Structure 1
Amino acid sequence: MTSSSTSRDITESRPDATSLDIGSRASDASDASSTASTIAASVASFLAGMDVLIVNVALPTIAADLGGDMAVQQWVVDGYTLLFAALLLLAGSLADRFGAKRLFLIGAGLFGLASLFCSFAWSMAALVFGRCVLGVASALILPASMSLINEANPDPRRRAWALALWGAGGASASAVGPLLGGLLTPIHWSLVFAINVPFCLFILALAPRIAPSPRRPIRFDWTGQALSLIGLSALVAGIIEVGAIGFAAPATLALLGVGVVSLGLFVFSQTKVAAPMMPLGLFRVRGMQVALQIGFIMIFNWYGMVFICTMFLQNERHMGPFAAGLVFVPSAFVTIAGNLIGGRIITARGAKFSITLGLAIMIAGFLFEFLTPAPIPVWVIATGLSVVGFGAAITTPAAAGVVLRSVDPAQAGIASAMFNTFRQVGGAIGVAVFGVIATFLPSLTLALRSVFLASALLLVYVLVFELTRWRG
């Protein structure tokens, strides 16, 4: 072989520098898109979670300015969570049909506009309406955010970290929300809504870096959507009215009856339509069973507890909004740390271990608060919130990962929507139920202790179910 031919062979066998450069740029672009998608999804998760609870600390001040009894204050919270929960399944289908990115950005824009409307609300009716629009926007954002993470992070290890950050956004918001509410309310209660706008603008600024999402031709179940919306709205309204006008009142019985019948018809309709909004077959998957129960009961407990805690701190301990918000500071930092640690635990030990550990920690936190003799010290509430928040921070990303791994990728959007629907339905019902408990019990101290005990018992049930019936 001549020297020239040898040189030519070496040159031909060497990778083309241009090809390497193109591949490197493509990899960098993919990494940048993945990072942008994860950050935007995590910020959106933070917003959706924060807006549930940031208003709690401000409720007494808002009621003093705009008027409203306990039932109206519950509607300020549940107007958001109810529409959020009722529309999540439809939003999951829309994310599959039109692309997660498009729906995500529409939701972020609507969230910012609705937040401005709430900040200028002139009456309780206007505020409740604005909160309902915020719930619609959150429904558009949340399932699309999980789909974006799934699309942008195909590697399981990277997806686990992305889900941990997404979970950190939602879980830390549950603790940061009351803190921000306490900081902003003394300035003016409208700021608890206006604070959302910069976050929405940040999400929209990341839009050019987020890769386009695939679209899937699917049909919509409008009958199921109508029945679920009517059923959930009537059921939650009926529970709230139990505390306002009594269980035996005709209006209460009518609302509860409409809710139960509509939800029963919804379940029946899902067996008859060609494209159900909630495929009942997913309930037969053990991983989905565990994740859905965890999502419902965790948020039922947390939202109800924070609602009663803020009432207890301000109405019974006579603390101001700022001081009441400070009670949630330790749990905010602990929850963020828990989500980051949770990602490592999931990677090292798997979802089942993470869920078991997180549930056990939450049970311990609730029992610690319940077993403390009355009067309940503020430091006990702060410590219990931190323990429960740490356990929830470990559990939430693990449960979200179970949802994504339990279904076919083509059903990721609808499965994510089901998971978040159960979470938000749990939150709406939790606020309604614990608000009724607070109405009938002689003191908020007794109501708070009842919340602690009920929450611990519900989590014990989920832990037993997970340990005895779920394999994997």
Structure 2
Amino acid sequence: MMEARETMESRDGMKTMTGMGTRAGGSALATTVAASVASFLVGMDVLIVNVALPTIARDLGGDMATQQWVVDGYSLLFAALLLLCGNLSDRWGAKRVFVFGATLFAAASLFSSFAWSMMVLVVGRCLLGVASALILPASMALINEANPEPRRRAWALALWGAGGASASAVGPLLGGLLTPIHWSLVFAINVPFCLLVLVLAVRIAPSPRRIKPFDWVGQTLALLGFVLFIAGIIEIGSLGVSSLRAWGLFGAGVVALVAFVISQARVRAPMMPLRLFRIRGMQVALMIGFVMIFNWYGMVFICTMFLQTELGMGAFAAGLVFVPSAFVTIFGNLIGGRIITAHGSKFSITMGLSIMIVGFLFEFLYPAPIPVWVIATGLSVVGFGAAITTPAAAGVVLKSVDAAQAGIASAMFNTFRQVGGSVGVAVFGVVATFLPSLTLALRAVFLASAALLACILVFELLRWGDR
């Protein structure tokens, strides 16, 4: 009975969509703007908190490990729930999930702004991660629904992508502007954005609902695995390499992730189909997505610590260091599509990765002490390379699978990116804990990032061969 009812609701939803049809002029524009604002908000909240962490720690207490959890509590839940929330978006309707996610984001932002301890703040950040996982796949589905014409859809997706890409650079700047007033504003600033999204959502056409099975075993194992794995890395840095508790968490996470992979080969409707990993384009794109965000989030985390702790800069001044990279990233996104059209995805990825490697090596090789302008320049070069690489890698994902698999392939790509960000913050935070100074930690981050990207570049060139 339930399935029959859902099927009827799905048909009704489709009829409603068809009936509303192109009420679309305004509806499509409202949908595109709402989805782009939401994409910006989700991306911004990943990094806006970084420059506020030293101030928050002074007010609420907390060591390096606790500060890492303020960042990773968001990105980890975001990553672990993306695939499930993509499924929910199909099953319950993209608009319904989108509106619920935006409402939860506003509530979690208010909760975080009134946090009275670091543990309460970590809880708030975890709730924000859940809300982001609900918003992101639903926002992309809404753009596809509202823009059936290919050229208009391409424009809408470009605007949606630009919102997310620019947010990672704007986040630290906005955090630097708000923290001197009070760190709680770093979270409260989300509320007006959420209200704008909810107002625009009134004009979004209803979404169809589709019956899709849940992979509860896979989702449970993935969530446990990611959380325990990241917790183990963070606790190794906090408690030391001899801590049995830290290694126990790490080992349990590895076991859960292995069990997750095994389960995906056996369940009828896996949340992450393993057969997609056999596609060469997917292999390259997933590794690029993971390593790029691993490096970027880890670098921004250590850079903000270095600027404020080692150089004694205020939050506002530290945020200004990220301004050039914000403009350069936006410019890179604008020309990235033209480069892909003119020369293809392989050329764009090779070019983008090479530029990122140059940026990291420039920062690493500059003699000590590292001046602020070197960090700002390096961030801009790396951001420019990333802006060229990311849309090309996303395009490879979509080209590697048929239309019926595009949703799950995109979710896998975004999941790998967000997991990479969580692991990057955890690993580079551990590096900073064990090295005698943040200057050495920053140099280690630059060198490790360049080396990892060089490995990915070689892998990409060898795996694709002459293609």
Question: TM-score of the superposition, structure 1-length normalised?
Answer: 0.91
Of 363, 369, 379 in structure 2, the residue corresponding to residue 369 of structure 1 is 363
Q: Summarize the alignment of residues 14-413 of structure 1 with structure 2, pairs less than 5 Å apart.
A: 29-413=23-407
Q: State the alpha-carbon separation in 1 of the partners of residues 150 and 384 from structure 2.
A: 24
How far does residue 154 in structure 1 lie from its aligned partner after superposition? 4.3
Quickly say closer, same or farther: Cα 1:426–1:416, change in 2 above 3 A.
same
Report the counterpart of residue 449 of structure 1 in structure 2. 443
Quickly say closer, same or farther: Cα 1:285–1:38, change in 2 above 3 A.
farther
Q: State the alpha-carbon separation in 2 of the partners of residues 152 and 288 from structure 1.
A: 27
How far does residue 234 in structure 1 lie from its aligned partner after superposition? 0.5
How far does residue 260 in structure 1 lie from its aligned partner after superposition? 0.6
Residue deviations 1:115-161 (CA, integer Å, cap 9, x gap)? 01101111111100000000000011112222233334445544443
Q: State the alpha-carbon separation in 1 of the partners of residues 151 and 388 from structure 2.
A: 16
How far does residue 28 in structure 1 lie from its aligned partner after superposition? 6.2
Quickly say closer, same or farther: Cα 1:173–1:454, change in 2 above 3 A.
same
Q: State the alpha-carbon separation in 2 of the partners of residues 355 and 161 from structure 1.
A: 21
Count of matched residue pairs: 448
453-462 or 132-141, larger mean C-alpha shift: 453-462
313-322 or 201-210, larger mean C-alpha shift: 201-210
Q: State the alpha-carbon separation in 1 of the partners of residues 150 and 374 from structure 2.
A: 39
Q: Does the 8 Å CA contact 1:299/1:423 hold for their aligned counterparts?
A: yes
How far does residue 26 in structure 1 lie from its aligned partner after superposition? 8.6
Contiguous gaps of at least 5 residues in structure 2: 1-18
Report the counterpart of residue 14 of structure 2 in structure 1. none
Q: State the alpha-carbon separation in 1 of the partners of residues 48 and 236 from structure 2.
A: 25
Q: State the alpha-carbon separation in 2 of the partners of residues 365 and 112 from structure 1.
A: 36
SS at 1:278 equivalent: coil
| RMSD after superposition | 1.8
229-238 or 400-409, larger mean C-alpha shift: 400-409
Residue deviations 1:315-366 (CA, integer Å, cap 9, x gap)? 1001011111110011111111211122332333333332222212111111
Q: State the alpha-carbon separation in 2 of the partners of residues 415 and 49 from structure 1.
A: 20
SS at 2:213 equivalent: coil
Q: Does the 8 Å CA contact 1:160/1:346 hold for their aligned counterparts?
A: no
Q: Does the 8 Å CA contact 1:335/1:386 hold for their aligned counterparts?
A: yes
Q: State the alpha-carbon separation in 1 of the partners of residues 147 and 275 from structure 2.
A: 27
Q: Does the 8 Å CA contact 1:293/1:462 hold for their aligned counterparts?
A: yes
Code of the aligned partner of 1:430? G
How far does residue 162 in structure 1 lie from its aligned partner after superposition? 3.1
Q: Does the 8 Å CA contact 1:96/1:413 hold for their aligned counterparts?
A: no
Q: Does the 8 Å CA contact 1:57/1:181 hold for their aligned counterparts?
A: yes
Residue deviations 1:202-249 (CA, integer Å, cap 9, x gap)? 111221333333332110011111111111101100000111101221
Q: State the alpha-carbon separation in 2 of the partners of residues 72 and 98 from structure 1.
A: 36
Report the counterpart of residue 16 of structure 2 in structure 1. none
Quickly say closer, same or farther: Cα 1:416–1:465, change in 2 above 3 A.
same
Q: Does the 8 Å CA contact 2:264/2:271 hold for their aligned counterparts?
A: yes
How far does residue 168 in structure 1 lie from its aligned partner after superposition? 1.7
Quickly say closer, same or farther: Cα 1:160–1:354, change in 2 above 3 A.
farther
SS at 2:202 equivalent: helix
Report the counterpart of residue 424 of structure 2 in structure 1. 430
Code of the aligned partner of 2:391? P
Residue deviations 1:59-111 (CA, integer Å, cap 9, x gap)? 01001001101111011001111111111111111122222222122111111
Q: State the alpha-carbon separation in 2 of the partners of residues 341 and 433 from structure 1.
A: 33
Q: Does the 8 Å CA contact 2:20/2:205 hold for their aligned counterparts?
A: no
Q: State the alpha-carbon separation in 1 of the partners of residues 435 and 211 from structure 2.
A: 52
Q: State the alpha-carbon separation in 2 of the partners of residues 26 and 227 from structure 1.
A: 41
Contiguous gaps of at least 5 residues in structure 1: 1-24
SS at 2:457 equivalent: helix
Report the counterpart of residue 466 of structure 1 in structure 2. 460
SS at 2:49 equivalent: helix
333-342 or 150-159, larger mean C-alpha shift: 150-159
Code of the aligned partner of 2:166? S
Q: Does the 8 Å CA contact 1:114/1:133 hold for their aligned counterparts?
A: yes
Q: State the alpha-carbon separation in 2 of the partners of residues 312 and 431 from structure 1.
A: 14
Quickly say closer, same or farther: Cα 1:290–1:164, change in 2 above 3 A.
farther
Q: State the alpha-carbon separation in 2 of the partners of residues 254 and 27 from structure 1.
A: 55
CA radius of gyration, larger in: 1
Report the counterpart of residue 22 of structure 1 in structure 2. none
Code of the aligned partner of 1:293? M
Q: State the alpha-carbon separation in 1 of the partners of residues 370 and 283 from structure 2.
A: 36
Code of the aligned partner of 1:250? L
Q: State the alpha-carbon separation in 2 of the partners of residues 211 and 401 from structure 1.
A: 27
Report the counterpart of residue 419 of structure 1 in structure 2. 413
SS at 1:445 equivalent: helix
Identity of aligned residues (%): 78
Code of the aligned partner of 2:174? L
